[in-house]
Structure 1
Amino acid sequence: MTNKKNFPLRIDSKLYDILQGWAKDEFRSVNSHVEFLLREAVEKAGRLPKNEDKKIEED
C-alpha cells in the first residue's frame, strides 16, 4: 500500500472549478489530478532524484 500524506489545501474556488472540470475530462478525482500535476511539475523542474522517478510512477 502506498504511503500517502494528508494535508489541507485552500484554493480559489474558480481555480478549483477549472481543476474539477479538467480532472473529469481525464477521468480522475480532483485530488488525484492535483497529485498528477504536481508530480509532472516536480519531474519537469528536475527536483526528483533519479532513483525516485520510477518509484513514484508506480504509485
Structure 2
Amino acid sequence: MTKKKSFVLRLNPDDYEALERWAADDFRSINGQLEWLINKALKDAGRKSKKTPGSK
C-alpha cells in the first residue's frame, strides 16, 4: 500500500463547515472529501500521474 503524506491545512470556519456538510452528503469523512476533491482537480487539470498504485 502507498504511504500517504500528512500535513496541516488551515481553513476559515465557514469553508470548513461547508466542506463538512458536503462530505456528510457524500458519506465521506472530511479527509476523504479533500482527497477526492484534490484527486478530481488533478485529473481535470491533466496533472494526475499515470503511475499505477505502489509504483515509483
Structure 1 and Structure 2 fold alike (TM over 0.5): yes
Please report how far the alpha carbon of residue 2 of structure 1 lies from its aligned counterpart in structure 2 after TM superposition.
3.1
Aligned to 1:47: 47
Which has more helix, going by share of residues?
Answer: 1
Aligned to 1:5: 5
State the TM-score, normalized to the length of structure 2: 0.84
User: What SS is found at the alignment partner of 2:24?
Assistant: helix
State the TM-score, normalized to the length of structure 1: 0.80
Aligned to 1:33: 33
Aligned residues: 53
Sequence identity, in percent?
A: 42
Deviation per residue, 1:5-31 (Å, 9 max, x gap): 010000111000000000001000001
Higher relative contact order (CA 8 A, sep 6+): 2
Moved over 6 A (4+): none
Could you tell me which runs of 5 or more consecutive residues in structure 1 were left unpaired when the two chains were aligned: none
